[in-house]
Amino acid sequence: MYNSNFDKFPEVVVHGHNGFMGWEEITKELENNIKSLSKQQVVIKLECYHGVLIDPFIEQLKSVFPTARFVDVSVALLPEEKLDELVYPFVTDDPVFGYLTSLTLASFFDADSLSNLAKQLKSADGITVVYGTGASLVPVEADLLLYADMPRWEIQLRFRRNEISNLGADNKEAAFAYQYKRAFFVDWRVCDKQKKTLLSKSDYALDTTHPDEPKMVAGSALMQALQQVVTRPFRVVPFFDPGPWGGQWLKEVCDLKRDEKNFAWGFDCVPEENSLLIRFDHILFETPSINLVFFQTESLLGPKVMEAFGAEFPIRFDFLDTMEGGNLSLQVHPLKEYIREKFGMPYTQDESYYFLEAQDDSFVYLGLKEKINPDEMMGELESAQENSTSFDADKYVEKWPIKKHDHVLIPAGTIHCSGANSVVLEISATPYIFTFKLWDWGRMGLDGKPRPISLEHGKQAIQWDRTTEWTRNHIINQFETVGEGDGWKEERTGLHKESFIETRRHWFTKKVKHHTGNVVNIINLVEGREAIVESPAGVFESFIIHYAETFIVPASVGEYTIRPYGSAEGTACATVKAFVREENLIDYRIN
């Protein structure tokens, strides 16, 4: 059995602040704060991100403040049928894709109803608590503002458990695919807009990710903690998910549950959906890692990346495990113009496959064969979809043998599919749901239903001139040595010239010097049991990373070094680093 040292719950220790854990400590702190106000009328606003299970907290507050008045802001929501009409242009009828909404949270509410709530709050003596998603919209000044946040990954799990509905809807039993699509294109977008204006002003921030183990910190403490996080390398909390093609490698290397059927995906650096664990003295506080992007944008991303992308983290790392599993779907990603026009996304999913592991028979489908007939190929794909027959991918798509440490580049518009018996470190631009499946080998999803195929979108994306020779010469193992020294070698490995992502591989047996260049760096240890990241100037504490772990180096860190550590000393280690190419930023400006 593999002796895993992969850290599934990385945390960042901050200094100078503590917090409150459990309902007793939390309610006691609020009680003391309210008493210190010495006011006859006290208004508390408890704003919630989508997906928060707020009822347990309200029950606790009612027990501590039995004479207080509690108002659920959802009574001011527009009727559900009107909300369905409102969100339809962004949710659409497409089974997978929608359009990024221009709505705000206020769009979901009746303005007169919010005003009436404000009048009721102003006329009530004692304590009044208005709570729920949109509580901050009630036009009355709050004496205390609380913000209950929620990571997107946990929201997805709650959808799957039928615990929550979409914003303004009563659809707990709806299909997960619909709930996720509506949340991705609408709910999370409007909640993020509101959070950007509120979280830094909140008196307290709540972590209710685990409803029976709530935590609370002062809003100012959270903001100062985020400032500390971006002064050092750090990791976000990975999460893992099964799939119809999933493998067995992640179980061993990342020490996951062995009784699960498989793990197809490992999301080790997707700040939009990952969590960040912050150690405040005696409590471990979980907050969405996207909050770093929102509130420490320049320090994290660097000024040029911030200017181009705004408060968006443009690069993601994840694992695709097909070891003892099956092929991924045959797929393609949209070009920039198409994704902007059809879905409202400002940039597209250029990506690459770096192979962490491969067997003798491992392969990747990449690019088209020479002199194929596009109409014939699309006709056979349509026939396979409509008649539930087979599609001969080998007839049209080039199939390449691959080995460990190969790097395959996949600019948008390139047909591709990673085969069975390999492990991919996928390095990609962030719009990760925009995959047009062309063929899924006739299999069912984990829910027993066919996975959606997107042939109409796909045929608009395929670049038919990316055939065998072009693929060989432009996007397979484009390694170029750019530097060497005592005990190290640096190689440029991609991505394709049209992408804004640059990747570099370092092989090393001794210390390697790095510099962020004032842009965020994302790094994975692709060879070696462990390494240590250090600051030559002593500006951050030494940071140990283990095999296959991804970590982020904020732009503001500047100079840092990496060397083999512990049992890896004296052995050959390797990292793959990704960052944004400055020369390509003009094409991706989204502000």
Cα–Cα–Cα angle for 267, 431, 381, rounded to 5 degrees: 100
- Residue 16 zone, left/alpha/beta (φ > 0; ψ -120 to 50; rest): left
Q: Do 438 and 514 have their domain in common?
A: no
pLDDT tens, 13-62?
Answer: 998 888 999 999 999 999 999 999 988 899 999 999 999 999 999 999 99
Q: Do 357 and 218 have their domain in common?
A: no
234 in any annotated domain: no
589 pLDDT more than 50: no
Q: Do 495 and 545 have their domain in common?
A: yes
Confidence of residue 68 (pLDDT cuts 50, 70, 90): very high
2 in any annotated domain: no
DSSP sequence for 152-201: HHHHHHHHHTT----TT---TTS-HHHHHHHIIIIIHHHHHHHHHHHGGG
pLDDT tens, 310-332?
Answer: 999 999 999 999 999 999 999 99
Domain tally, the chain: 3
pLDDT tens, 324-354?
Answer: 999 999 999 999 999 999 998 888 889 999 9
pLDDT, residue 272, reads: 92
pLDDT tens, 524-547?
Answer: 999 999 999 999 999 999 999 999
Q: Do 340 and 398 have their domain in common?
A: yes
3 in any annotated domain: no
pLDDT tens, 402-442?
Answer: 999 999 999 999 999 999 999 999 999 987 788 999 999 98
CB-based burial label for 298 (10 Å; 0-12, 13-18, 19+): middle
* Percent of the chain at pLDDT exceeding 70: 98
Q: Do 63 and 144 have their domain in common?
A: yes
Q: Do 384 and 495 have their domain in common?
A: no
Q: Do 321 and 198 have their domain in common?
A: no
The Cα–Cα gap between 233 and 207 comes to: 23
5 in any annotated domain: no
Which token pair is 239?
């999460």
Long-range contacts of 35-39 (CB under 8 A, 24+ apart): 37/143, 39/143
Q: Do 138 and 165 have their domain in common?
A: yes
pLDDT tens, 221-247?
Answer: 999 999 999 999 999 999 999 999 999
Contacts of 234 (CB under 8 A, 6+ apart): 10, 12, 276, 543, 551, 552, 554
pLDDT tens, 170-195?
Answer: 999 999 999 999 999 999 999 999 99
CATH, residue 36: 3.40.50.300
pLDDT tens, 243-263?
Answer: 999 999 999 999 999 999 999
pLDDT, residue 588, reads: 42
Residue 21 structural domain: 11-229
**Sheet (strand 283-288) strand order:** 11-14, 275-280, 283-288
pLDDT tens, 152-171?
Answer: 999 999 999 999 999 999 99
**Average pLDDT of the residues of the chain:** 94
From 198, 229, 260, the end of a domain falls on: 229
| Residue closest to 48 by CA, chosen among 24, 73, 80 | 73
Contacts of 286 (CB under 8 A, 6+ apart): 151, 207, 209, 210, 215, 237, 275, 276, 277, 278
